[in-house]
């Protein structure tokens, strides 16, 4: 990995990295528009054609939906140990989201006037789960479980099929365990389009959520006028902030773990210690040997570290935090003596991991919060996926005669100032009747 000074990083690489999301999406958008249009026009036929050409499905005819028989076969294939891990992860994720689920509320604005919000779950949500090398059971859990905790009536999952037309068994089992109602074997931009517009087989949803590569993220943006979408969650990112107390082996492993997702990933160490920087660089080289030369995984690591891998030496933790806030990365690890105090100064991050034992990989699988987090610098304005993404707020107002007397006059005046005579009259008429009733009672 390249070791650079913070001052040099600020003037050079940081500028492009900070704009990475917009730059990548603008290119991908042009490429997915044709796929989205094809699915919208041809429905299931387009899905089958694209699955053959893009996902390499070898069978001519296969069901787009995983049926009960395929689910039972998947359970047999994954085995008891994998099922036990899936169920443990799902329980942790549910526990976290049940504790942080938003609730309805109300407030007395003035005497007699109560206003509040009622939280209503969405009816149908679509979840996209990437295929990866063996499926992504963790992503199925991280998206489906909070949706179900929020009360979504129907959750459908789309995931790329294997060459034989089956869903990846681990993903299928995890989706079922997390509470998915239906699982479809469709991937890429075409899956996003299918959920957004509906096809003969896949129902139209109210919102599409879930991470993916650039093309999936671009497709979500392309259909966002038709359905709601969640956050831009593309290639994985980690920034490790470390002082001289950090363990170089652990820092190196956490950097490499995120690049393991793919060559587009970003992995940056920001440290106040030149000695640690050099130690981490050596450890990165050593641990890359987990994958043999020439393997796909090794090529991902090498390409990712060449493109978006840096070790930055900062003058102090203050400068390190400035860089983090400018990058607004998906994951931020604080491997420092006092991570809790430093955490309050980090403004832009998808998720924080405090201390040397809080590996990002824990958050990927079992910690509780969803690992579906903003990438590409979008942590400046987006939060990670949660139950809040699956509910709508319906505000309500309740008013007594006293409340009308207390607040009505101001509403009348503002309506008149804006030139809306009937707005004003609708309140004045109520006030008039109220006063007449009060006069009659006397």
pLDDT tens track for 253-263: 999 999 998 88
List pLDDT tens digits, range 225-260.
899 999 888 788 999 999 999 999 999 999 999 999
Give the pLDDT mean for 203-228. 92
**Band (19; pLDDT cuts 50, 70, 90):** low
Characterize 220-255 residue by residue with b for buried, 16 or more Cβ atoms within 10 angstroms of its Cβ, and e for exposed: bbbbeebbbbbbbbbbbbbbbbbbeebebebbbbbb
How far is it, in rounded angstroms, from Cα 149 to Cα 107?
Answer: 25
State how far Cα 370 lies from the chain centre: 7
> In the annotation, is 73 catalytic?
no
Identify which has the larger pLDDT, 28 or 143. 143
**Among 204, 202, 155, residue whose Cα is nearest residue 51:** 202
Q: Find the catalytic residue in 331, 333, 371, 405.
A: 331
List pLDDT tens digits, range 389-425.
999 999 999 999 999 999 999 999 999 999 999 999 9
> In the annotation, is 330 catalytic?
yes
Which DSSP state fits 388?
G
Give the pLDDT mean for 219-228. 93
Q: Please determine, for residue 37, whether its predicted confidence score (pLDDT) is greater than 80.
A: yes
What is the chain's mean pLDDT, rounded?
93
How many C-beta atoms lie closer than 10 Å to residue 67's C-beta? 11
**Band (217; pLDDT cuts 50, 70, 90):** confident
Give the pLDDT mean for 173-189. 97
CA angle 197, 203, 205 (to 5 degrees): 65
How far is it, in rounded angstroms, from Cα 333 to Cα 356?
Answer: 8
Q: H-type helices in 211-295, by residue range?
A: 214-222, 248-259, 274-287
How far is it, in rounded angstroms, from Cα 62 to Cα 186?
Answer: 11
3-state secondary structure of 1: coil
How far is it, in rounded angstroms, from Cα 364 to Cα 377?
Answer: 19
Q: Which helix (H) or strand (E) holds 70?
A: helix 68-99
List pLDDT tens digits, range 259-310.
998 888 899 999 999 999 999 999 999 999 999 999 988 998 999 999 889 9
Q: What is the pLDDT of residue 24?
A: 63
Q: Find the catalytic residue in 330, 333, 371, 405.
A: 330
Q: What is the pLDDT of residue 9?
A: 82
């Amino acid at each position: 990995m390249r070791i650079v000074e913070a001052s040099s990083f600020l003037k050079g690489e940081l500028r492009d990295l900070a704009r990475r999301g917009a730059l990548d999406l603008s290119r991908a958008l042009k490429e997915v528009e044709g796929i989205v249009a094809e699915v919208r026009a041809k429905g299931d036929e387009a899905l089958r054609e694209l699955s053959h050409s893009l996902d390499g499905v070898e069978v001519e005819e296969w069901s787009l939906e995983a049926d009960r028989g395929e689910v039972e076969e998947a359970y047999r294939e994954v085995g008891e140990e994998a099922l036990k891990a899936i169920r443990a992860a799902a329980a942790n994720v549910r526990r976290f989201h049940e504790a942080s689920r938003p609730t309805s509320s109300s407030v007395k604005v003035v005497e007699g006037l109560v206003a509040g919000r009622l939280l209503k779950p969405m009816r149908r949500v679509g979840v996209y789960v990437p295929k990866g090398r063996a499926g992504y059971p963790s992503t199925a859990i991280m998206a489906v479980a909070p949706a179900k905790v929020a009360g979504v009536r129907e959750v459908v999952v789309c995931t790329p099929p294997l060459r034989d037309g089956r869903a990846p068994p681990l993903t299928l089992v995890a989706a079922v365990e997390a509470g998915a109602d239906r699982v479809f074997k469709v991937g890429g931009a075409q899956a996003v389009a299918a959920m957004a517009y509906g096809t003969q087989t896949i129902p139209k949803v109210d919102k599409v959520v879930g991470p993916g590569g650039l093309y999936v993220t671009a497709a979500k943006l392309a259909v966002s006028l038709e359905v709601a979408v969640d956050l831009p969650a593309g290639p994985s990112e980690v920034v490790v902030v470390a002082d001289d107390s950090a363990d170089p082996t652990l820092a190196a492993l956490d950097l490499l773990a995120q690049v393991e997702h793919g060559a587009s990933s970003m992995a940056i160490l920001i440290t106040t210690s030149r000695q640690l920087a050099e130690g981490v660089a050596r450890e990165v080289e050593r641990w890359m040997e987990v994958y043999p030369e020439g393997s796909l995984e090794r090529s991902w690591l090498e390409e990712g570290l060449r493109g978006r891998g840096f070790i930055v030496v900062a003058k102090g933790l203050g400068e390190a935090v400035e860089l983090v806030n400018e990058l607004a990365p998906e994951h931020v690890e604080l491997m420092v003596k006092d991570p809790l105090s430093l955490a309050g100064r980090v403004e832009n991050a998808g998720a924080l991991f405090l201390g040397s034992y809080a590996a990002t990989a824990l958050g990927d699988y079992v910690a509780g919060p969803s690992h579906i987090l903003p990438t590409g610098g979008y942590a400046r304005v987006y939060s990670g996926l949660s139950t809040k993404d699956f509910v709508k707020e319906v505000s309500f107002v309740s008013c007594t005669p006293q409340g009308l007397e207390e607040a009505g006059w101001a509403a009348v005046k503002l309506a008149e100032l804006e030139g809306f005579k009937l707005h004003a009259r609708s309140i004045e008429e109520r006030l008039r009747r109220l006063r007449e009733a009060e006069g009659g009672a006397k």
